[in-house]
Amino acid sequence: MSRIIKAKALRAKRTVALARWLLGKHLVRRGEDGRVVARMILETEAYDGERDLACHARAGRTRRTAVLYAPGGHWYVYLCYGIHEMLNLVVGPRDWPAAILLRGVEGANGPGRVTKALGIGRALNGATATGRASGLWIEDRGMRVSRRAVSATPRVGVDYAGAVWAGKRWRFVLEAPTKAPGRPRPKSTSAPRRA
DNA sequence: TACTCGATCGGA
DNA sequence: CCGATCGAGTAA
């Protein structure tokens, strides 16, 4: 079972909830040669609105941030540190600038490595993320993610945003699904429940 | 036009 | 820890 994520789904929930929801979905890339590669999304980060001082839209609408104001379902790709391409999924309704940075997928840990691994560059900036047309989309392949398999931490590299915004735990990490039988359930010690 | 500084990474 | 490397944003 495998279905392409539709724009509607990317506009219904709030940005932070979507960042968590994307964990376990698959980033699917069709290359020039027609080969299709799918990697499970393992790490995301939410950027939400002009008020969010870590978000590129903090300075409002500019040539670069224009795509963030598009309705959810487009790609936002930009160059960071002059070297690394960063892949973001624009989410939310039109005119609410928000995006989710894809920081990690199976086999690629780190936003710069994700794009390098899948051959993603700025040519995809503004392209649709909700269909095969752009060669890059997201699929739900039925992976179920339990709440406790996800950890939430502060976003990386945004100290400049100040304590309040840098402190938001808007980075979500899915611990790699393990096939092996889980560790034996910790024997519930018969210790008293309360002191 | 002249600056400054990054949503990072790999190597010393 | 440091340098790479370049475009967006800002000030002038």
Confirm whether any atom of chain C, the nucleic acid strand, is less than 7 Å from CB of A79: yes
> Strand B positions with any atom < 7 Å from protein CB?
5-10
Of the candidates A116, A118, A109, the one whose C-alpha atom is nearest the C-alpha of residue A38 is A118
Confirm whether any atom of chain B, the nucleic acid strand, is less than 7 Å from CB of A55: yes
User: Which one has a higher pLDDT value, A106 or A176?
Assistant: A106
In order of their start, the domains of chain A are: 3-174 (3.10.300.10)
Position A4 scores a pLDDT of: 98
Model confidence over A12-40: pLDDT tens digits?
999 999 999 999 999 999 998 999 999 99
Q: Say how far A144 CA is from C4 C1', in Å.
A: 40
pTM, full prediction: 0.91
Model confidence over A43-71: pLDDT tens digits?
999 999 999 999 999 999 999 999 999 99
* Nearest nucleotide to A65, CA against C1' atoms: C8
